[in-house]
A and B are shown apart, each in its own frame.
Chain A
Amino acid sequence: MTDVNPELPRVLLTRRPGRLAAFLDHDLVYSLLHSRVTLVAAAVTLTIVVAAAFAPWIAPYDPFDLRQLNLLDSHLPPAWAAEGDRRFLLGTDDQGRDVLSAILYGAQISLSVGLLSVVLAAVVGIFLGLIAGYAGGALDSIIMRAADVQLTFPAILIALLIDGTIRALSGEGRNEETAFWVLVLSIGLSSWVQYARTVRGSTLVEKNKDYVLAARLIGLDQTSILFRHVLPNVIGPVLVIATINLGLAIILEATLSFLGVGLPPTEPSLGTLISIGNKFLFAGEWWIAIFPGVTLAGLVLAVNLLGDWMRDALNPKLR
């Protein structure tokens, strides 16, 4: 038997893999490197995230710096069009802001809202799910019935309701600085249910295992058992849900901003930019709305593909 069966897993063939080899051999990385679509999606996501994170250094102009704006530069089409200006690659909007710079800054805001709201939803969901699963009884019933009721309504409706409620509570003088956090709160609180259900399910399984019993026997208090021993064992699936929900959160943010209840034009996210551009679409000035729109669609598509890949790669049934 000199021939090595090519069907054998690589793990059996390599002796003592180095750190790098071990990393490359991991299921996640393996499936990533062997799917062209996922690689492209990862590249697109990485490009947008890096470009957004370094927007102040990359962007040709600062769209928030009023001194740089010149109304004479407004409504310019993209550089390759007949009346385009070479200074503004993707054209300018009604206030003379460079569309490319606005997109970079807008993507930064969209991604921040998306990430923060996903973190908020996950924290709330994990916390309630852990408690519901571990405590059981009446507390469990209350939390899960609340989840049921909330699940009857689509997230966009819940987010709009929370937004409207905060708007009513804060009165007329609602300042624009809080808009960002109102949005994070609305989106985060509208999507905790999925995390709570998953975590509750795994907690119900974990809490009867021997290590929990052992922890109890040595006299650990409930809080540290729950958060230091049970939590690390139930957190795996949460990461997959979070990735899939990131795309949804970005769409939700863009939708709320487009509907005029999200971020104001002074602090535009991709949704706000599309909403601004929408007003000029009828005048034929398509670039103001379409470029942010394409960026948004590309970002969401790439994040969704990454989420799909992660779900399949981490699903033991599909291996």
Chain B
Amino acid sequence: MLTFVVRRVLQALLVMLVVALIAFTLFRFVGDPINQMVGLDTSIAERAQLREMLGLNDPVVVQFVRFVWHALQLDFGISYQFKQPVVALIGERFPATIELAFVSALLALLVGIPMGVYTALHRGSWLSTVFLTVSLVGISLPVFLTGILLIFLFAVTLGLLPSFGRGEVVRIGFWTTGLLTASGLRAIILPAVTLGLFQLTLIMRLVRSEMLEVLRTDYIKFARARGLSERAVNFGHALKNTLVPVITIVGLQLGSVIAFAIITETVFQWPGMGLLFLIAVQNADIPVMATYLLLVAAIFVAINLIVDLLYAVIDPRIRVEARAA
């Protein structure tokens, strides 16, 4: 078990190092950092001095080591366009994105699982057909289009919900939350639905196919033979066994949630990291882009690592394989 953990952690570190190299290359070689930092009236001598001061004349390897060292201390430089430390910019917007991702994932689970169970138990009923058709449309509809349609329906036509921003937020320590105020709760509904719709369809289809598979197994037949109620068989035995893969997929999907958050945040002007990243791309603000890349990579790698390790805990076969290898 220990060798398995060590090997997986080393692999994760290697991936992070590669991503750091990409981020560093972006930072160092795409455009001249000095030109981005100073104004037009800075003399060549001053530029050279700044270059020396920032260590841009050192060997590239030394610069890379320094970049990684600074990154480990959460120092990612200064944004070209906002003239503020990137860490502060991202830290400000981090809670907004995490709250949005969390609420949308919760929504997808709470609605997607029952829908999946229903379509598996009542195959061929008209409601199942409706669910499946809707899910196909949901997969084909680009995220931004879903957002626009929801805004058009609920904000413009019906005037029920706000179409942009986060509403009032409450500050708790370094964390700002919109989940404690009425306007904040109202503001999160449309973005969360937009972001959650894709996952919802995915979860629904996954639960459905897993349920159909489990319902065919012998232990379900045996449970029926024992005279257990339909309810106990369906929910106590069948659903329980479908949830492991569902939770894995939801965990791994968290990454694409963050990516789709870029789009959702833009449509709803949600003040999160995705919107920050998009503005950075539009303005070629490399430090922000590089930091966002590193952060997303760290989240991805951490999730993958946790999922792998959890698997090893749950499934003894993986442990045995790891020992043999």
Chain A residues within 8 Å of B, Cβ to Cβ: 145, 148-149, 152-154, 156-157, 160-161, 163-165, 167-169, 171, 247, 251, 254-255, 258-261, 274, 278, 281-282, 284, 286, 289-290, 293, 296-297, 300-301, 304
Contact = CB atoms under 8 A, between A and B. Distances in A.
B281 A156 contact: no
Contact of B284 (A164, A255, A260, A278): A164
B77 to A, nearest CB: 15
A154 B262 CA distance: 11
Interface of chain B, helix or strand or loop or mixed? helix
B170 interface: no
B143 A160 contact: no
Given A153-B297, A154-B259, A282-B156, A260 B145 contact: no
B142 A278 contact: no
A152 B301 contact: yes
A255 B148 CA distance: 12
Contacts of A289: 148, 152
A154 B151 contact: no
Contacts of A290: 149, 152
Given A154-B256, A157-B296, A297-B145, A259 B140 contact: no
Interface residues of B, number: 43
Contacts of B143: 255
> Top 10 nearest A-B pairs by Cβ distance?
A154-B259, A168-B284, A164-B281, A301-B140, A168-B31, A168-B30, A251-B142, A300-B140, A258-B144, A154-B256
A153 B284 contact: no
Nearest to A155: B259
Interface string B116-138: 00000000000000000000110
Contacts of A258: 142, 144, 263, 266
Nearest to A252: B142
Nearest to A154: B259
Nearest to A146: B18
Given A261-B282, A293-B149, A274 B140 contact: no
Given A160-B281, A255-B263, A261-B282, A301 B136 contact: yes
A68 B253 CA distance: 48
Contact of B148 (A149, A163, A247, A281): A281
Given A254-B145, A296-B145, A297-B140, 8 more contacts: A152-B297, A152-B300, A156-B260, A164-B281, A167-B284, A278-B148, A293-B148, A300-B142
Nearest to B143: A255
Contacts of B262: 156-157, 160, 259
A9 to B, nearest CB: 28
B15 A149 contact: yes
Interface in B278-295: 278, 280-282, 284, 286, 289, 293
Nearest to A302: B140
Contacts of A284: 156
27 contacts: A152-B301, A153-B300, A154-B255, A156-B259, A156-B262, A156-B263, A157-B262, A160-B262, A161-B26, A161-B281, A161-B289, A164-B280, A164-B286, A169-B30, A251-B142, A258-B144, A259-B278, A281-B148, A281-B152, A284-B156, A286-B152, A289-B148, A289-B152, A290-B152, A297-B140, A301-B137, A304-B140
B176 interface: no
A261 B281 contact: yes
A153 B296 contact: yes
A290 B141 CA distance: 13
Contacts of B50: none
Contacts of A274: 144-145, 148
B259 A255 contact: no
A191 B140 CA distance: 18
A258 to B, nearest CB: 5
B19 interface: yes
A165 B152 CA distance: 34
A207 to B, nearest CB: 26
Interface string B164-185: 0000000000000000000000
B139 interface: yes
A149 B141 CA distance: 27
B81 interface: no
A161 B296 CA distance: 12
Contacts of B280: 164
B142 A152 contact: no
Contacts of A301: 136-137, 140
A253 B289 CA distance: 20
Nearest to A254: B142
A156 B198 CA distance: 15
A238 B255 CA distance: 26
B76 interface: no
Q: Which of A148, A163, A167 has the most CB of B within 10 A?
A: A167
A255 B136 CA distance: 19
A300 B142 CA distance: 9
A149 B262 CA distance: 20
B145 A149 contact: no
A153 B293 CA distance: 9
Given A278-B148, A293-B145, A301-B140, A152 B15 contact: yes
A247 B301 CA distance: 28
B270 interface: no
B67 interface: no
A161 B27 CA distance: 12
Contact of A296 (B18, B142, B281, B304): B142
